Structure 1
Amino acid sequence: MTEQLTTRWVVLDIEGTLTATSQVHVVLYDYARPRLGPWIDEHPEDPRVTEAVDAVRAEAGLPADASTEEVVRVLHSWMDEDKKAAPLKTLQGLIWEQGYARGELTSEYFPDVVPALKAWRERGLALAVFSSGSVAGQIASFSNTTEGDLRPFFRHHFDTVNAGPKREAASYHAIAHGLGDPLPSEILFLSDVPAELDAAKTAGWQVVGLARPGEPYEKADFGLHRTVASFAELEIDPA
């Protein structure tokens, strides 16, 4: 059955919603893991890198002069835990940005994603992204895909740095402000994580859960949230 919705903005999660979880946990993580240490050592004057490294030391309780090797051990442990740590996401994003620019990384999406994005944009809907991955990493991931450059599809990008944690309602209030303060009910959030949908719903947004076959949250309890297995099940019209 097709879900019919009316909204002005569609805000999208990435992992498990647009791309398979393995795209991040296998392809991207495996690409970043061996490059973290060299990247830190090769960019000692980049404030984004030095601030991220300092944040790792502080969050992990390491001394201020902890070596790159010690910092990388923490980063690797966070990757193993899939911890949504901002300094990790910053460093990964910078590494992925270079990988996409060099053509060493290519994003692949679920078959229903790009047709839906095109249809929604043609109907006049505005699209944005909210992902735990850094904004730099998000933009890079859309730059080189199996469907070409998708960056023009999205008007705004939000992450846990410029918006806040994905499971807190305050983050969705912050995003709404960044979108120009539309009515909360004029924003639709699509994600595969029930706790994120709960937070967005608390902020007054419309929400739809993605229970994609074979993905970690396929059998999750989405409670009262409407849930689909594919974007093809959604009929979204502009408000």
Structure 2
Amino acid sequence: MSVRVAARWVVLDIEGTLTATSQVHVVLYDYARPRLGPWIDKHLDDPVVAEAVAQVRAEAGLGTQATTGEVVAVLHGWMDADRKATPLKTLQGLIWADGYARGELTTDYFQDVVPALRSWRARELGLAVFSSGSVAGQIASFSNTTSGDLRGLFAHHFDTVNAGPKRERGSYAAIAQRLRADAGQIAFFSDVPAELDAAAAAGWQTVGVARGGEPFADADFGAHPVVSGFDQVELGVIE
């Protein structure tokens, strides 16, 4: 069964929507975990890294003199809990960007994803990403994929820093303003019902993505139309 949508912009979640959850929770997390400490120690003069470390110390109640080991222990705990903490996402994004640049990381997508994205872009639909992963991490993930460099497909990238939490209506209102589009002209694709609820509350169109074997495959998507793959989407273009 197909779902019909007409939009000017398509905004996409990544984990569970474009890629398997294991791409993040296994491949990327396993890559970042042993590199967090060395990365912090090597880049303490980088203001982005220094700010992220300061945020970890503050959020975890550590003193300003907390060691790298103590900071990393907090970061590992947040990873284990899958906490969407901004300083963790910042540090992971930097490490992943380096891994992709070195060719040590490659992103693999569900089979229906890349053909759909290329088709939508060819029809002059605007494509954007809204993910809890940092913008740097997002861009890096599209740079080296099993389908080549896909960075050119996307006009905008949003994360919890430049847009806000993914389960809050205000984040979607902020993105619509950045896209210079009416809310009703934007379609959001995600595998998380709570994110779709927030987007719908902001006036966006929504499509739930329930892929077999993924954590939200059997979730209750309520009134949101649902597909199991992008090949079930008939996407019209609003002029």
What range describes the TM-score normalised by the shorter chain of this pair?
over 0.9
**Amino acid aligned to 2:158:** F
Q: Which amino acid aligns with 1:144?
A: N
What is the one-letter code of the residue matched to 1:177?
Answer: Q
C-alpha distance after superposition, 1:138-189 (max 9, x if no partner): 0000000000000000000000000000000000011111112x11000000
Gaps of 5+ in 2: none
Q: CA deviation at 1:72?
A: 0.3
Residues of 2 paired with 1:56 and 1:82: CA distance?
15
Task: Give the match for residue 190 of structure 1.
Answer: 189
- TM-score between the two structures when normalised by the length of structure 1: 0.99
Question: What SS is found at the alignment partner of 2:93?
Answer: helix
8 Å Cα contact 1:160/1:166 also seen in 2:
yes
> Counterpart of 2:159?
159
Counterpart AA for 2:206? V
SS in 1 for 2:73: helix
Cα RMSD of the aligned pairs, angstroms, is 0.5
User: What is the SS of the residue equivalent to 1:34?
Assistant: helix
Q: Within 5 Å, which residues of 2 pair with 1:90-239? A: 90-180=90-180, 182-239=181-238
Matched, 1:16 2:12: no
Kept in 2, the 8 Å contact 1:123–1:237? The answer is no
- Report deviation, 1:13: 0.3
Alpha-carbon distance in 1 for matches of 2:139, 2:5: 27
CA distance in 1, matches of 2:171, 2:104: 33
Equivalent pair of 1:8/1:238 in contact (CA under 8 Å): yes
**SS class of match (1:4):** strand
Q: Name the TM-score, length of structure 2 as normaliser.
A: 0.99
Give the distance between the partners of 1:4 and 1:198, measured in 2 at CA: 19
Structure 1 runs, 4 residues or longer, greater than 4 Å off: none
Matched position secondary structure for 1:50: helix
Conserved in 1, the CA contact under 8 Å of 2:212 and 2:228?
A: yes
Task: Work out the percentage of aligned pairs sharing the same amino acid.
Answer: 71
Offset at residue 124 of structure 1 (A): 1.3
Counterpart CA distance in 2 for 1:2 and 1:13 is: 20
SS of the equivalent of 1:93 reads helix
The amino acid across from 1:132 in the alignment is S
For 2:59, the equivalent position in structure 1 comes to: 59
For 1:232, the aligned partner's letter is D
Report the number of matched residues: 238
What does residue range 71-90 of structure 1 map to in structure 2 within 5 Å? 71-90=71-90
Q: Which runs of 5+ in 1 are unaligned?
A: none
Give the CA deviation at 1:17.
0.2
Structure 1 distance, partners of 2:114, 2:36, is 31
1:2 shift after superposition: 1.4
Structure 2 distance, partners of 1:176, 1:224, is 22
1:122 deviates by 1.2
